């Protein structure tokens, strides 16, 4: 039986793909609701979600706590939820482990805060020094920040991290970050692939086999992940970086995104 807790006037956040919920759905039976192709897709794969109003599947929505502004709730549905699902569900990062995080963009900076909440040690890398400076501002030790332009593999060797990286979280998805991940992971380590800047990356079979690496791809997240991140945001454990703009500004925002001027996420608000 479905318990409906939302009432008229509530602010809600929605996952894009709640799944169809059918008993014979092969994705549902494997706990992969976000991969269901039967379900309605809100804001991804189907037109109409820039409209002032939209109908949602009740199974897709979570009530937004009163202390979370709507723009922050909006970015929680992807930039935070996707990071959380990748780290907690797919990477299964534990507090006693060491993770290496590639990329501090819209997803990666939230991912950094998820790993920090878990309590794991994490090393961060980005090509933009200003993003690394932001990480230092929120408490990442300078010794765990790879300077922009520094070779990741050299940094690991020089800082005594060889054989100590349990999991890599690649929010970039370039061939270079993929190669770095394979080389710096300890034996039995895990690569979690989130970013897709290069559509094709190569695997060094000898490294992968000799180290017995696991390569985990991840996509989106589920309603339980959205509820979890809204709770963490409400508790200030995660503080998403978000800029506001109007829907009318969309062409300019898109151009700025393509030109690398957007540091995190932009929430488009209806006027």
Residue 73: inside a domain, yes or no? no
Q: Which secondary structure element, helix H or strand E, spans residue 246, and what is its range?
A: strand 242-246
Residue 79: inside a domain, yes or no? no
- On whether both 107 and 175 belong to a single domain, the answer is yes
Structural domain harbouring 127: 92-217
| Three-state SS at 236 | coil
241-246: average pLDDT = 93
Residue 76: inside a domain, yes or no? no
Nearest to 100 by CA among 4, 171, 12, 49: 171
29-33: average pLDDT = 92
Lowest mean pLDDT among 51-65, 132-146, 179-193: 51-65
- On whether both 140 and 166 belong to a single domain, the answer is yes
pLDDT, tens digit, for every residue of 108-163?
999 999 999 999 999 999 999 999 999 999 999 999 999 999 999 999 999 999 99
- On whether both 105 and 165 belong to a single domain, the answer is yes
Task: Give 55's pLDDT tier (boundaries 50, 70, 90).
Answer: confident
Q: What is the pLDDT of residue 158?
A: 98
Q: What is the pLDDT of residue 2?
A: 39
Residue 187: inside a domain, yes or no? yes
Residue 138: inside a domain, yes or no? yes
Dihedral pair phi/psi, residue 152, rounded to 5°:
-60, -45
222-237: average pLDDT = 97
What distance in Å separates the CA atoms of residue 16 and residue 56, rounded to the nearest whole number? 9
- On whether both 107 and 211 belong to a single domain, the answer is yes
- State pTM to two decimals: 0.93
Lowest mean pLDDT among 9-23, 38-52, 79-93, 128-142: 38-52
Q: Which secondary structure element, helix H or strand E, spans residue 118, and what is its range?
A: helix 108-118
Residue 142 to residues 137, 151, 168, 240: CA-CA distances in angstroms? 10, 16, 19, 21
Nearest to 225 by CA among 3, 34, 1: 34
- For the chain, how many structural domains are there in total? 3
- On whether both 163 and 227 belong to a single domain, the answer is no
Q: What is the pLDDT of residue 260?
A: 83
- On whether both 99 and 63 belong to a single domain, the answer is no
- On whether both 165 and 251 belong to a single domain, the answer is no
pLDDT of 3 higher than 80: no
Residue 177: inside a domain, yes or no? yes
- On whether both 212 and 225 belong to a single domain, the answer is no
Q: Give percent of the chain above pLDDT 70.
A: 98
pLDDT of 1 higher than 50: no
pLDDT, tens digit, for every residue of 194-221?
999 999 999 999 999 999 999 999 999 9
What distance in Å separates the CA atoms of residue 166 and residue 168, rounded to the nearest whole number? 7
Residue 49: inside a domain, yes or no? yes
| Contact assessment for residue 39 and residue 17, using Cβ atoms and an 8 Å cutoff | yes
- Quote the distance between the C-alpha of residue 259 and its chain's center: 21
CATH number where 165 lies: 3.40.50.720
Residue 81: inside a domain, yes or no? no
Q: What is the pLDDT of residue 51?
A: 82
Tokens of 7: 């009432």
- On whether both 96 and 198 belong to a single domain, the answer is yes
Q: How many CA atoms lie within 13 A of 202 on its CB side?
A: 6
- On whether both 133 and 207 belong to a single domain, the answer is yes
Residue 72 to residues 23, 68, 148, 197: CA-CA distances in angstroms? 34, 7, 28, 25
- On whether both 192 and 263 belong to a single domain, the answer is no
- On whether both 58 and 15 belong to a single domain, the answer is yes
Task: Give 6's pLDDT tier (boundaries 50, 70, 90).
Answer: low
């Amino acid at each position: 039986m479905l318990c409906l807790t939302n009432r008229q006037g509530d602010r809600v956040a929605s996952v894009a793909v709640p799944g169809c919920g059918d008993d014979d759905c092969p994705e549902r039976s494997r706990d992969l609701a976000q991969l269901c192709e039967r379900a309605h897709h809100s804001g991804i794969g189907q037109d109409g979600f820039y409209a002032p109003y939209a109908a949602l599947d009740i199974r897709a929505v979570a009530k937004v706590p009163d202390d979370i502004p709507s723009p922050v709730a909006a970015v929680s549905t992807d930039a935070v939820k996707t990071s959380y699902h990748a780290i907690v569900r797919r990477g299964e990062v534990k507090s006693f482990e060491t993770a290496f995080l590639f990329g501090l963009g819209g997803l990666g900076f939230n991912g950094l805060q998820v790993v920090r909440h878990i309590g794991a040690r994490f090393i961060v890398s980005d090509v933009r020094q200003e993003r690394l400076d932001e990480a230092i501002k929120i408490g990442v030790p300078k010794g765990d920040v790879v300077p922009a332009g520094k070779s990741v593999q050299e940094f690991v060797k020089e800082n005594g991290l060889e054989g100590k990286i349990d999991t890599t979280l690649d929010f970039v998805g370039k061939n270079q970050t993929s190669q770095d991940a394979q080389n710096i992971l300890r034996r039995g380590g895990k690569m979690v692939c989130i970013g897709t800047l290069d559509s094709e990356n190569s695997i060094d079979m000898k490294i992968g086999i000799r180290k017995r690496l696991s390569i985990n791809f991840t996509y989106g997240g589920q309603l339980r992940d959205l509820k979890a991140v809204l709770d963490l945001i409400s508790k200030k454990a995660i503080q998403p970086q978000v800029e506001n703009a109007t829907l009318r500004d969309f062409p300019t925002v898109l151009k700025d995104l393509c030109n690398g001027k957007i540091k995190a996420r932009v929430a488009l608000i209806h006027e």
